Amino acid sequence: MEIFGINIAVLIASLMVASVPIMLAAIGELVVEKAGVLNLGVEGMMIMGAICGFITAVHTGSPMVGFLGGAAGAMALSLVFILLTQVFLANQVATGLALTLFGLGLSSLLGQGYNGIKPPRLGDVPFGPLENIPFFGRVLFTHDIMVYASIAIVAAVWAVLKYSRAGLILRAVGESHDAAHALGYKVVRIRILAILFGAAMAGLGGAYVSLVRVPQWTDGITAGAGWIALAIVVFASWKPWRVLIGAYLFGGITVLQLNLQAAGARIPVEYLSMSPYLITILVLVIMSSGRGRASLNAPAALGQNFHASR
Amino acid sequence: MLVLEKRPTPSKGWAWGTPFLAVALTMIAGGAMFALLGKDPVEAIRTIFWDPLFNAQFASYSRPQLLVKAAPLILIAIGLSLGFRAGIWNIGAEGQYIMGAVFGAAAGLALYPAETRWIFPLMIVAGAFGGFLWAMIPAILKTKFRTNEILVSLLLVYVAENILASMALGALRNPEGGGFPGSRNLSQWPAAANKELIAGTGLHWGVVAAVIAVIAAYVLLQRHILGFQIKLSGQAPRAARFAGVKPETLVVLCMGLSGALAGLAGVFEVAGPAGQISIDFNQGYGFTAIIVAFLGRLHPVGILLAGLLMALTYIGGELAQFMLGLPSAAIQAFQGMLLFFLLAVDVLSNYRIRLASFGREAR
pLDDT digits (tens, 9 = 90+) for B145-179: 888 888 899 999 999 999 999 888 888 887 777 77
- Report chain A residues whose CB lies below 8 A from the CB of B162: 270-271, 273-274
- Taking contacts as CB-CB distances below 8 angstroms, the residues of chain A near B36 are none
Q: Answer yes or no: is B257 within a domain.
A: yes
pLDDT at residue B36, as a whole number: 86
Average pLDDT over residues B129-136: 95
Mean pLDDT comparison of B7-11, B52-56, B81-85, highest-scoring range: B81-85
Position A159 pLDDT exceeds 60: yes
Residue B31 counted as domain residue: no
Residue-level pLDDT at A89: 86
Percent of chain A with pLDDT over 70: 95
CB < 8 Å from A in window 321-360 of B:
327, 329-337, 339-340, 343-344, 346-347, 350-351
The domain of B104 spans 38-326
Which strand (E) or helix (H) includes residue A3?
Answer: strand A2-3
Q: For A207-239, write each residue's pLDDT tens digit.
A: 999 998 888 888 888 888 999 999 899 888 889
Query: What is the SS3 string spanning chain A?
Result: CEECCEEHHHHHHHHHHHCHHHHHHHHHHHHHHHCCCCCCCHHHHHHHHHHHHHHHHHHHCCHHHHHHHHHHHHHHHHHHHHHHHHHCCCCHHHHHHHHHHHHHHHHHHHCCCCCCCCCCCCCECCCHHHHHCCCHHHHHCCCEHHHHHHHHHHHHHHHHHHHCHHHHHHHHHHHCHHHHHHCCCCHHHHHHHHHHHHHHHHHHHHHHHHHHHCCCCCCCCCCCHHHHHHHHHHHCCCCHHHHHHHHHHHHHHHHHHHHHHHCCCCCCHHHHHCHHHHHHHHHHHHHHCCCCCHHHHCCCCCCCCCCCCC
Q: Do A84 and B344 touch (CB under 8 A)?
A: yes
Q: Provide the pLDDT for residue A292.
A: 57
User: What is the maximal distance between C-alpha atoms in chain A?
Assistant: 66
Q: How far is CA B95 from CA A212, B99, B135, in A?
A: 30, 6, 9
Residue B362 has pLDDT above 60, yes or no: no
In DSSP terms, B353 is beta-bridged to B4
pLDDT over 90 percentage in chain B: 27
Task: Classify domain A2-297 at the CATH topology level.
Answer: ABC transporter involved in vitamin B12 uptake, BtuC (1.10.3470)
Q: Would you say residue B140 lies in a domain? A: yes
CA distance B175 to chain A (A): 19
DSSP structural state of residue A7: E
Total domains present in chain B: 1
Give the nearest partner residue to B150 out of A40, A98, A309, using CB atoms.
Answer: A40
How far apart (Å, rounded) are the C-alpha atoms in residues A100 and B336? 8
Give A198→chain B minimum CA distance, Å: 18
**Domain extents for chain A?**
2-297
The shortest CB-CB distance from A102 to any of B37, B154, B333 is to B333
pLDDT in the model for residue A4: 63
pLDDT band at A310 (very low <50, low <70, confident <90, very high): low
pTM summary value: 0.88
Residue B98 has pLDDT above 90, yes or no: yes
Q: Does residue B246 have a pLDDT over 60?
A: yes
- The CATH number assigned to the domain holding B236 equals 1.10.3470
Residues of chain A contacting residue B137, judged by C-beta atoms under 8 Å apart: 281
CA-wise closest residue to A115 among A219, A267, A222, A251: A219
Residue B184 pLDDT grade (very low, low, confident, very high; cuts 50, 70, 90)? confident
Do A54 and A74 contact (CB within 8 A), yes or no? no
Band of the pLDDT at B320, cuts 50, 70, 90? confident
Q: Work out the average pLDDT over A170-190.
A: 89
Is cis: bond before A276, omega within 30 of 0? no
Average pLDDT estimate for A35-58: 93
Q: Could you read off the pLDDT of B12-65 as tens digits, one per residue? A: 777 788 888 888 998 898 888 888 888 888 888 888 888 888 877 777 777 888
Q: What is the pLDDT of residues A68-100, one digit of tens each?
A: 999 999 999 999 999 999 888 888 888 998 899
CB-CB neighbors (< 8 A) of B287 in chain A: 101
- Asked if A50 contacts A222 with a C-beta cutoff of 8 angstroms, the reply is yes
Is residue B22 within a helix (H) or strand (E), and if so which, with residue range?
helix B12-36
Q: Distance between CA A13 and CA A141 in Å, rounded?
A: 9
Identify the pLDDT of residue B17.
Answer: 82
Cβ contact (<8 Å) for A84 and B340?
A: yes
* Pairwise pLDDT comparison (A9 vs B129), residue with the higher score: B129
For residue B317, tell me if it sits in a domain: yes
pLDDT digits (tens, 9 = 90+) for A238-265: 899 999 999 998 888 888 888 887 777 7
Interface membership of B255 toward A (CB under 8 Å): no
Question: What's the average model confidence in pLDDT over B190-207?
Answer: 78
| B-chain residues near A280 (CB < 8 A) | 151, 155
